[in-house]
Structure 1
Amino acid sequence: MNIGVLVNVEKDEGLKYTKILLDSINKNGAKYIVCEKTAKRLGFKGNSYSEVELVEMSDIIVCLGGDGSFLKAARMILEKDVPIVGINLGNLGFLADVDKNEIDIAVKKLVNNDYSIEKRMLLETEIIRNNNVIAKDTALNDVVVSRGALSRILHLRTYVDDNFMDMFPGDGLIISTPTGSTAYTLSAGGPIVQPDAGLIIITPICPHLLYSRSYIATKDKVVKIIVDEDCDHNAMVTVDGQVGYEIRGGDLIITKESTKSIKMIKINKRHFLEVLRRKIYDRGEKMRRNEV
């Protein structure tokens, strides 16, 4: 078994946990593959691989870092359809299934095929200007339409399956998968959704509407957002917090379920509600301790 290892070196000081992971992979009879940047930091000599080559050669991808690192890695494997598991070196980490103190246990389970796979839905989005597609992208968490640097209200005319929903004045809109319901959508007051549900969540960001709430649609719906043509300042479409595209008045953003999905390896048997309760409670307790 070839296990590709992608590391956020800024999260793993001295590559402490990376070394533990690589030693465990060796000890359990599998082969690890690291990219040239990681190999250089570890002082490895010999064959070095680009991240693209690493993905192509791997049967499983292990990502060390936080949720941002996981999202970056997930974008890299879309075409390969290889399963991925995260080791959480960040703070909250809803996407990473493995705690940094459980690395050896996790590797044993990977090598022995003692795990399950959850398929998570993705969103695909297009930005259309003057009837031409100027950008396409795919999201595991969310597609965010938001105002630029200036504090001006953004007006977004929003449709679901060509049915007019509302004109949303405010800082923007989040179109989220169930996986992304514990990310930006949560902080914007959106609902928490079971991650394997087939839903699309539309949540306004700081809306200038007293009655405005999140809207939940089935996954077969198509969400269309038109930027108000009178918009004379920069706005952005951001995909998974990883890539941004500038938009302007009159642009159309179409978002729907992707034909692709992500295979997320689940090693722990903990239910989503248990994970949710533990992570949010633990974070709250940690913040309270820091205030003392």
Structure 2
Amino acid sequence: MTEFQRIGIVGRPGSESVKASTRRLAGLLRELQKDAAIEANYADEVKDIGLPTKTIHELGEWADLVIVVGGDGTLLGAAREICAFEVPILGINRGRLGFLTDIMPDDMERHVKAVLAGQYVKEDRFLLQASIERDGKEIAAGTAMNDVVLHPGQAIRMISFELSIDEQFVYSQRSDGLIVSTPTGSTAYALSAGGPIMHPKLDALVLVPMFPHALSSRPLVVAGDAQVCIKIGEDNTLEPMLSCDAQTSVQTRLGDMVCIKKLPHRLHLLHPTSHNYYAICRNKLGWGKKLVD
């Protein structure tokens, strides 16, 4: 497996625990004689570590590996920017859940050393690209690693829309919205809305209605390369929002067409060799453990 020499560091701003782990990580990289640089938007918080700064895109062009110190949300943001450069990402967990950032701070030095020496498990995760078309023209676009969500915004009202998949009409619906999720995102918002958990290796999407008016509306799993189109109903009394990973949002207008499909680039996510997806689910979701060892 690949050994890494040029390491980019991305951190979550505003966290003392993230700063502490970043300083430890910088010291480890110096000890291992690795070239390191820190993402510019985070660099002011850890000026004392003396690393050169680069924008997130410059890190994508320069680094062999990007290490994210923070929570899953920090990694999602980095992944959307780094994905096009095909640079692998490793996550140090300084958040809550840690489905993606699965190296705990107490084990950081041991696992990072092993990964940098080429001992790791690599997973390829796909992302989604979403666009909003108005009068036949694209007026906004975004990417998501977890999910693309159509929702009413701050108002508590149902919205109407029509769903098509691969240019075939599926249904019209009145609900609080629709979640279009990757397997990565199936343990996030889609899960809380009643969607299934999908193993990350699956090449599939899940469409999860949010509080649909018809009780027969259920989550729908489709092929990963399907093109999902949502037409915003003309009879809505509000203009719904479209959100990517709950981090970027755009307001739609009545009659807009939202198109969602797989991004051409894949994210290369690295884990320690001890990585076990089902163990993570047990720990994070409170599943029962083995009755007999």
Q: Residues 63 and 84 of structure 1 are in contact (CA less than 8 Å); yes or no, is this contact kept in structure 2?
A: yes
Secondary structure at the aligned position of 1:5 is classed as strand
Matched, 1:21 2:20: no
TM-score under structure 1 normalisation?
0.91
Aligned counterparts of 1:165 and 1:197: Cα–Cα separation in 2: 22
- Cα 1:37–1:260 change in 2 (3 A) is closer
Q: Residues 66 and 93 of structure 1 are in contact (CA less than 8 Å); yes or no, is this contact kept in structure 2?
A: yes
- Cα 1:12–1:73 change in 2 (3 A) is farther
RMSD: 1.8
Q: Residues 147 and 244 of structure 2 are in contact (CA less than 8 Å); yes or no, is this contact kept in structure 1?
A: yes
- Cα 1:11–1:214 change in 2 (3 A) is farther
Shift of 1:50: 2.8
Aligned residue in 1 for 2:235: 230
Aligned counterparts of 1:47 and 1:223: Cα–Cα separation in 2: 42
Aligned counterparts of 2:259 and 2:200: Cα–Cα separation in 1: 22
Provide, for residues 222-280 of structure 1, a one-character-per-residue CA deviation record: whole Å limited to 9, x for no partner: 11111101123121110111211110211111111221111111214232111111111
Aligned residue in 2 for 1:81: 86
Question: Does 30-39 or 191-200 show the bigger shift?
Answer: 30-39
Shift of 1:135: 1.5
Aligned residue in 2 for 1:220: 225
Aligned counterparts of 2:51 and 2:281: Cα–Cα separation in 1: 43
Aligned residue in 1 for 2:171: 166
Matched, 1:91 2:70: no
Aligned residue in 2 for 1:6: 10
**AA at the equivalent of 1:185:** A
Matched, 1:61 2:70: no
Aligned residue in 1 for 2:138: 133
Shift of 1:37: 4.6
**AA at the equivalent of 1:280:** L
Shift of 1:166: 1.7
Aligned counterparts of 1:106 and 1:183: Cα–Cα separation in 2: 26
Aligned residue in 2 for 1:252: 257
- Cα 1:12–1:196 change in 2 (3 A) is farther
Aligned residue in 2 for 1:203: 208
Aligned counterparts of 1:244 and 1:160: Cα–Cα separation in 2: 23
Aligned counterparts of 1:275 and 1:142: Cα–Cα separation in 2: 20
Alignment partner for residue 191 of structure 1, among 188, 191, 196?
196
Aligned counterparts of 1:128 and 1:14: Cα–Cα separation in 2: 39
Counting only pairs closer than 5 Å after superposition, residues 252-271 of structure 1 correspond to structure 2 as 252-271=257-276
Shift of 1:55: 2.9
Shift of 1:47: 4.2
Shift of 1:220: 2.4
Q: Residues 11 and 90 of structure 1 are in contact (CA less than 8 Å); yes or no, is this contact kept in structure 2?
A: no
Provide, for residues 61-101 of structure 1, a one-character-per-residue CA deviation record: whole Å limited to 9, x for no partner: 00011111011111120221100011111111211121121
TM-score under structure 2 normalisation?
0.91
Q: Residues 7 and 66 of structure 2 are in contact (CA less than 8 Å); yes or no, is this contact kept in structure 1?
A: yes
Aligned counterparts of 1:158 and 1:36: Cα–Cα separation in 2: 41
Aligned residue in 1 for 2:45: 41
- Cα 1:228–1:18 change in 2 (3 A) is same
Secondary structure at the aligned position of 1:77 is classed as helix
Secondary structure at the aligned position of 1:55 is classed as helix
Q: Residues 28 and 111 of structure 1 are in contact (CA less than 8 Å); yes or no, is this contact kept in structure 2?
A: no
Alignment partner for residue 152 of structure 2, among 144, 147, 153?
147
- Cα 1:144–1:37 change in 2 (3 A) is closer
- Cα 1:164–1:147 change in 2 (3 A) is same
- Cα 1:49–1:162 change in 2 (3 A) is closer
Aligned residue in 1 for 2:291: none
**Number of equivalent positions:** 283
Aligned residue in 1 for 2:247: 242
Shift of 1:204: 0.6
Aligned counterparts of 2:205 and 2:183: Cα–Cα separation in 1: 7
Q: Residues 30 and 111 of structure 1 are in contact (CA less than 8 Å); yes or no, is this contact kept in structure 2?
A: no
